Structure 1
Amino acid sequence: MFTALVLQNTPNFHAELAQLDESSLPEGDVTLAVAYSTLNYKDGLAITNKSPVVRQWPMVAGIDGAGTVIASSHPNWQVGDLVVHNGWGLGETRWGCLAEKARLKGDWLVRLPAAFTPRQAMAIGTAGYTAMLCVLALEDHGVRPDQGEILVTGATGGVGSVAIALLAKLGFNVVAATGKASEEAYLKALGARSIIDRASLSAPGKPFQKERWAGVVDAVGSHTLANALAQTRYGGVVAACGLAQGMDLPSSVMPFILRGVTLAGVDSVMAPLPKRQRAWARLAQDLDVSVLERMVQEVPLADCVAHAHALMAGQVRGRVVVKIPAIS
């Protein structure tokens, strides 16, 4: 038996810890003893049932996990290996990692970088790994620190916090957009040079505005993304990875055809293994773990539901790491 955070929809939706038998685990060629998981935005949506994230019931929540291989028939993984898992439909269509055990496909796993402990890997989680993919998108499209300011929206969230730390370490002039003026010291400690009120971006704006940003990391979508595009400089790049404000894009083609702006979509869920390995290798190289620790709150598995509700209410900054009980 093992403990897991289980989501049920009969007779009504509820999320609670339950004891499950190992025989109920899904098919897979690697079994993981999960040491740490995390709460991402998608986890919050699923655990609070605020969006139809879950597509099969019952569901064990948790899109991320880090821990030790305890059984494997996959040629790349041996018992005792330390691994990281992000995405691939966990917590949506397949049981996830907010549990003491998870059964996964070996082709989905990334070897835990030597630079990180399992806890640190989950302090990064899908949010931080997505932030790295956004930074790589900017770099791959030629954005350099000497070209001007980089805007990061949703700055106090998981993606935003890690993106700021990464971009600052790489020498970029980062401007953080937030609705939480009280978090200015936190954001500047991560590396942001200046702060703007998210209200200046979140309302409907003109489709073509004064040029400012050499690049943008946007986790918000909707009017915020539209305004960021309208303010991006000639040849600039906007990496879009989230929809916290909405999934619409009330914009026009003007930034693209008159300024040559690139809108780079960033997907972390189904990203191929080489892209994941590249992102984790760069995180190990470019993310300062002392800065990472400033954005981390650790909670026990038993407190996940309460923290998921806080996350959805905008009461959480940075990253929530979930300590999983050791298998008895």
Structure 2
Amino acid sequence: MTSMQAFRIHNDDNGYRGAIETMDTDALSAGEVLVKAEWSSVNYKDALAGTGKGKILRQYPLNGGIDVAGIVVASSDPAFREGDKVLATGSGLSETRDGGYGEYVKLPAALTIPLPASLSTRDAMILGTAGFTAALALLRMLDNRQRPDMGPIAITGATGGVGMLGVDIFTRAGFQVHAVSGKPAHFDFLRQIGAVECIDRHQLAFSGKPMESAKYGGMLDNVGGAMLAGFLPAIAPYGNAAICGLAGSPELPTTVMPFIIRGVSVLGVASAGTAREIRDEVWARLGGEWKPRHLDAICTKEVALGDVASVFDTMLAGGSFGRTVVRIGG
């Protein structure tokens, strides 16, 4: 048993609250692999969970943080040994089990991913769920025969975590990217990380026609709603729209025309519950040929564990830019 600090979330007779508190490692959710955490990250989902403005946790109390990377200090599973560097994203962290906002975390071996040799634990958390989601979208599109010669990939919500990392990852994989964002002040940055064109979403004027001339090979959509519906008619034959967010709306006001005339496919990207063998492939690629070139630039903020709650409200208000990592160890 070891005493530790954690950002722990409660919901009881005293109300909903999250704060740094002291607990014992014996009180952590069960798992075969005990990890001394070094880094975590802040995702929109973490901000919702930490403030109670979103229904994320399914049981209480739990430590926040859907991502974690660190070093194994004990393991009852032979696949992991003391000193191994590992990571975990999603998979019920800060939802049904204690997450990464603690000095230690216990992980089931089935959820524990060996850290790729080319990534540091900090790199892994700059990527985190956001980078994993963007790379999973790319994998799904490639599995469905997406090719660079089909045309550029439109990435909506391009100044968010998934969007920024998507620009870098898709560019790294040989695609041209058109970045769509409502924050034109950041267009120079998006070009620096690989976007060949930047589109102000406020200037978009969709015709409402069920079909447009084919301008895009496919898209990675973080927005949903009218934005997604507006781009679908302009996707090339047999292109793919990978859907991973609903920042605009969960609705999809469209017709079946792009699907039955051009064979456009809509691919769902459900990163939290991804099967282990797919997780392994995605992280292998993120540590290999898809490793973003601009991780340090995309990481725009670093906070200590004790200050993690200070960034939640800004993120929920749409005021954050880039990725925020949480320094937990040393």
Fold agreement, TM-score > 0.5:
yes
Task: Give me the whole-angstrom Cα distance separating, in 1, the residues matched to 2:62 and 2:255.
Answer: 40
1:21 partnered with 2:24 = yes
**Which stretch of the first structure deviates more once superposed, 125-134 or 198-207?**
198-207
Task: Give me the whole-angstrom Cα distance separating, in 2, the residues matched to 1:232 and 1:141.
Answer: 14
Aligned partner of 1:195 in structure 2 is 198
Alignment of 1:152-171 (within 5 A): 152-171=155-174
- On the 8 A contact 2:152/2:175 being kept in 1, the answer is yes
SS at 2:74 equivalent: strand
Tell me which of 315, 322, 326 is aligned to 1:322.
326
- On the 8 A contact 1:152/1:216 being kept in 2, the answer is yes
Tell me how far 1:207 sits from its aligned partner.
4.1
Aligned partner of 1:102 in structure 2 is 105
Letter in 2 for 1:240: I
Task: Give me the whole-angstrom Cα distance separating, in 2, the residues matched to 1:205 and 1:268.
Answer: 31
Task: Give me the whole-angstrom Cα distance separating, in 1, the residues matched to 2:107 and 2:323.
Answer: 24
Task: Give me the whole-angstrom Cα distance separating, in 2, the residues matched to 1:224 and 1:33.
Answer: 42
Task: Give me the whole-angstrom Cα distance separating, in 2, the residues matched to 1:48 and 1:208.
Answer: 42
Task: Give me the whole-angstrom Cα distance separating, in 2, the residues matched to 1:250 and 1:94.
Answer: 36
Flag the 1:201–1:101 CA change in 2: closer, same or farther, 3 A.
Answer: farther
1:304 partnered with 2:308 = yes
Number of residue pairs matched? 326
Tell me how far 1:325 sits from its aligned partner.
3.7
Alignment of 1:1-328 (within 5 A): 1-10=3-12, 11-200=14-203, 205-288=208-291, 290-296=293-299, 297-326=301-330
Letter in 2 for 1:319: R
SS at 2:270 equivalent: coil
Tell me how far 1:6 sits from its aligned partner.
1.1
Tell me how far 1:206 sits from its aligned partner.
4.4
Task: Give me the whole-angstrom Cα distance separating, in 1, the residues matched to 2:132 and 2:292.
Answer: 14
Task: Give me the whole-angstrom Cα distance separating, in 2, the residues matched to 1:249 and 1:45.
Answer: 24
Tell me how far 1:239 sits from its aligned partner.
0.7
TM-score by length of 1: 0.95
Tell me how far 1:60 sits from its aligned partner.
0.8
**Which stretch of the first structure deviates more once superposed, 166-175 or 25-34?**
166-175
Task: Give me the whole-angstrom Cα distance separating, in 2, the residues matched to 1:284 and 1:61.
Answer: 26
Task: Give me the whole-angstrom Cα distance separating, in 2, the residues matched to 1:183 and 1:293.
Answer: 16
- On the 8 A contact 1:299/1:322 being kept in 2, the answer is yes
Task: Give me the whole-angstrom Cα distance separating, in 1, the residues matched to 2:315 and 2:132.
Answer: 19
Letter in 1 for 2:116: P
SS at 2:294 equivalent: helix
Flag the 1:209–1:47 CA change in 2: closer, same or farther, 3 A.
Answer: farther
TM-score by length of 2: 0.94
Tell me how far 1:15 sits from its aligned partner.
1.7
Letter in 2 for 1:313: A
Segments of structure 2 that go 5 or more residues without pairing to the other structure are: none
Letter in 2 for 1:74: D
- What CA RMSD, in Å, does the superposition of the two structures yield over aligned residues? 1.7
- On the 8 A contact 1:35/1:100 being kept in 2, the answer is yes
Tell me how far 1:211 sits from its aligned partner.
2.5
- On the 8 A contact 2:168/2:292 being kept in 1, the answer is no
Task: Give me the whole-angstrom Cα distance separating, in 2, the residues matched to 1:265 and 1:252.
Answer: 18
**Which stretch of the first structure deviates more once superposed, 151-160 or 13-22?**
13-22
What are the Cα deviations for residues 146-172 of structure 1, in whole angstroms up to 9, with x where unaligned? 221110011011111111011112222
- On the 8 A contact 1:218/1:239 being kept in 2, the answer is yes
- On the 8 A contact 2:33/2:72 being kept in 1, the answer is yes
Letter in 2 for 1:9: N
Letter in 2 for 1:196: I
Segments of structure 1 that go 5 or more residues without pairing to the other structure are: none
Tell me how far 1:209 sits from its aligned partner.
3.5
- State the identity as a percent: 39
SS at 1:285 equivalent: coil
Flag the 1:289–1:249 CA change in 2: closer, same or farther, 3 A.
Answer: closer
